[in-house]
Structure 1
Amino acid sequence: MTRPRYTAPMPDAIRHQLRAGHHPARAVPCPHCRAAAHKPCVLRKSGRRLPQPHPHRVTAWVLATACCPACQVTPGVPCHHDVHPRRRQEAEETA
């Protein structure tokens, strides 16, 4: 006897609540190891999964989600020099 498979898409709000134990940076793809969104970062040579995302992925998440209070840029726009610590703090507070 086979069970029916339900294929209704899961709303994003519920999906993020179920993944509450993961770092919020996993919502974006990793530019370092090319891990897809919502997948863990891996070591490029051995393929071993990492418990925390790469710093490049965290930076990409910060740029995609937070406004910078120091240089007044919107999400998706990089800071004028480097990512400011205040922008990282704002991204972590809103997550």
Structure 2
Amino acid sequence: MTHRYGQPAPMPDSIRQYMRGGQNPARAIACPRCGVAAHRPCRIPSRGVPLAQIHQQRIDAHTQTVACCPTCQVEPTIPCHANGRALDNGAVHPARHTEATREAA
């Protein structure tokens, strides 16, 4: 099989994400739920069927890497916590989701 296109164009990741059109910015990282690579659609792990939506764990992981949390006052890459304990399954506070969408815009 021959390939029509070579390597992707050299450009910064921020511009590349913009050029990807309507994709959710959370697709820029690998999914911790189903294990797919970055920029690939989430899949059902048992059957390998691609999903139309993104797993919530992937959205939470992306939010954790790009935004500070106004609720628990943590910096990016640090998990949200409540009463000194990290939230279950890597969840983040709703205010952190709002902050991540504000930064993406």
Deviations 1:52-87 (A, max 9, x none): 210010110111110001111100001113321100
Q: Which runs of 4+ in 1 moved over 3 A?
A: 3-8
- Unpaired runs of 5+ residues, structure 2, are none
| Number of the residue aligned with 1:41 | 42
Aligned residues: 93
User: What corresponds to 1:91 in structure 2?
Assistant: 100
Q: Check whether the contact 1:29–1:35 (CA below 8 A) recurs between aligned residues.
A: yes
Match for residue 63 of structure 2? 62
Query: Kindly tell me: are residues 73 and 47 of structure 1, through their superposed partners in 2, closer, same or farther at Cα, counting changes over 3 Å?
Result: same
Identify unmatched segments of 5+ residues in structure 1: none
Q: What are the equivalent positions in structure 2 for 1:71-82 lying under 5 Å apart? A: 71-81=72-82, 82=87
> Taking structure 1 as the reference length, what is the TM-score of the superposition?
0.85
3-state secondary structure, aligned to 2:81: coil
Compute the TM-score of the two structures, normalised by the length of structure 2: 0.77
CA distance in 2, matches of 1:25, 1:38: 9
- Residue 15 of structure 1 aligns to which amino acid in structure 2? R
**What is the correspondence of 1:9-24 to structure 2 with a 5 Å cutoff?**
9-24=10-25
In structure 2, C-alpha distance between the alignment counterparts of 1:29 and 1:6, rounded to whole Å: 20
Give me the CA root mean square deviation: 2.0
**What is the alpha-carbon distance in structure 2 between the residues aligned to residue 70 and residue 58 of structure 1?**
18
